[in-house]
Homo-oligomer: A and B are copies of this chain.
């Protein structure tokens, strides 16, 4: 079968299966998810073997970074965590079928909404095998058929995990083809997938900027995209400086490689002379490289100068850009101009400034007196997340299973006609 035909057939089967999966009971979905979790643990060795195969293939290539190897490599403990993740999904409330906002219209019609799955979700991701299981099981719980297309470097691991999932789905009575996987590592498979306008309801690319741009440019299917995290903390003149120190330190140092870590620190000029030396000392002890605006350079000696590029950069590393600002307006403008609309925080005790910051900062998550590191489905109480959206349509911020659903209007009448 040609590649084009193969992908088309997957799309057709997915659409058919989606109609059936949409009305499967929560109980049956949960039982299947528990079976998947058990099977993943039980078949740890088989998964590790597939992972070793991927590892060997990748080692032969020279262009691979250690961070990449780290993301690819599985251990018995990581596999156990995957299974635990699936059990967490079982605990989430099934959003499908919820009826809400019912209101009685003057003519007696009852009009409201019913929550339903999106249908078929295409997930295109790079080489983290845990996405195979996370995304597969989140889609299943929310009644969506998923078409998974993972990075070629982890093809063996992904396939081993997928085979467990689909086997448990079909042997427990879920509709045939209710999870799908693109086995071929040919790049054209992605472009064929992106043409399935009739069969895929939404595409979620998970990976770098290039992947996301490629997907948006090459499909007419709606896309939910996950941008980068150039996050800020603004320490106001009326901040509790001790609290500010802890928040800034945490947001930069606790896990610098993730999207909700702080990249630029903004400090009100009135407190810069006291606050900057104190926080700089702590950050330097943690090996953070500081890059400052001209005023910062006058206060902190021996640090690098921040150039225009620094304000735009998501370092994902132990580097911090620092800018002294005149007032909250300058801070808000800086964030809205240079930021990536991900997560930004103010530290202050002033009520009016809190409200101003909350209303005017145009980001997916706006914080008062807390570390930006909390932007995460679990921390927000949404459960496991399919990603963090920085776009404005449909879902913004951490996306849980509710964001994998849509609604339809339901209208209950007793013979009403329009006059």
Contacts and interface: CB of A to CB of B under 8 A. Distances in A.
Interface in A205-245: 213, 216-217, 220, 222-224, 240, 243
A373 B254 contact: no
A362 interface: yes
Interface of A is mostly: mixed
Interface of A: 19, 22-23, 97, 103, 105, 109, 111, 114, 116, 118-119, 201-202, 213, 216-217, 220, 222-224, 240, 243, 246-247, 249-251, 254-255, 336, 358-360, 362-371, 373-375, 379-381, 391-394, 396-398, 406-419
Contact of A254 (B111, B118, B381, B418): B418
Given A243-B415, A367-B413, A217 B217 contact: no
Given A366-B410, A371-B413, A371-B417, 5 more contacts: A19-B360, A105-B380, A254-B418, A364-B409, A394-B394
A418 B362 contact: no
Copies of this chain present? 2
A412 B408 CA distance: 33
A91 B396 CA distance: 28
B247 A105 contact: no
Given A359-B23, A369-B415, A417-B247, A406 B379 contact: no
A157 to B, nearest CB: 29
A265 B118 CA distance: 27
5 contacts: A19-B362, A202-B392, A246-B415, A255-B418, A365-B409
B418 A374 contact: yes
B381 A408 contact: no
Given A202-B393, A393-B406, A366 B415 contact: no
6 A-B pairs closest in CB distance: A370-B413, A250-B417, A373-B418, A394-B394, A392-B406, A243-B415
Contact of A23 (B116, B220, B360): B360
B97 A359 contact: yes
Nearest to A111: B380
B358 A410 contact: yes
